Amino acid sequence: MNPGDLLTRPLYRLYESRLLAGLDHSRLPRHIGVIHDGHRRYAREEGLPDYSSSYRVGMAKFVELLHWTDELGIPAVTCWLLSKENLRRPAEELEPYYEVLIELFEHMPSALAGRDMSVRFIGSVDQLPPRVSAAAKRLEERLAVGANRVTIALAYGGRQEIVDATRDLIGDLLDEGVDPGELASRISAEALAGHMYTADLPDPDLVIRTSGEARLSGFLLWQSAYAEYVFVDVYWPAFRRVDFLRALRNYTQRERRFGR
């Protein structure tokens, strides 16, 4: 343990307690989206031997986050662990991350044991290496039932989701026997919403992004139209419960207008 932690850890615990006590639990979000950004910058700044080390720290933090949301009774969290654009990176960058993801997926059933949580994946998972998609499928099967919903966005892109939803809607309309000339009149925001990857979840109330980047990068583009955003300066592997509670405090103090 860093000697400085001996002093700061009790202070952070006290601060956490004060934040928790001050939270209006009646205003907590029903659905939180998280963009886990900053693994590689964290590795460089901390002098870690390789990116795999920071990925592992980040995935352990991801499990902690799920514990935090469960303890607060937040029923849904969607976490973006890999974008579709990331798939264009060189294999020597992707392979270590794939290995850490597989480790995470094998570890999660025991890490979430005793918690009423289910897990599913969204995105172009079929475009991942078979060993990664197989590990994701095994995790879904092992954690298929649970009241609190964990959605992992993997090989995910917001634009692709909207394209997929449009294709699915048109396919369903054609299957119903709708004349092709009438398709345009049957496409509406409500109809498209029912074909989004997360159609069975409430839209996210809060989206958190770490690492100081103030943009969505395509995350849940459709669903986040009226979400509140909190951009946190710390890199994801360094994200603390204090940072999470401050984001929640920030959210509960806002007046949501939903475009009005």
Residues with catalytic roles:
37, 86
User: Can you tell me the distance from the alpha carbon of 64 to that of 60, in angstroms, rounded to the nearest whole number?
Assistant: 6
d(CA 84, CA 82): 7
Exposure on the CB side of residue 11, measured as CA atoms within 13 A: 5
User: d(Cα 139, Cα 135) in Å, to the nearest integer?
Assistant: 6
The number of residues in the chain equals 260
Which residue bears the tokens 């307690």? 17
Secondary-structure percent of the chain, ordered helix, strand, coil, rounded to 5:
55, 15, 35
Nearest Cα neighbor of 74 from 192, 198, 204 is 204
What stretch of H or E contains 250? helix 241-252
Strand 76-83 vs strand 31-35: parallel, antiparallel, or unpaired?
parallel
Q: What is the DSSP string of 139-168?
A: HHHHT---SEEEEEEEEE-HHHHHHHHHHH
User: Three-state SS for 209?
Assistant: strand
Report the alpha-carbon distance of residue 198 to residue 31 in Å, rounded.
11
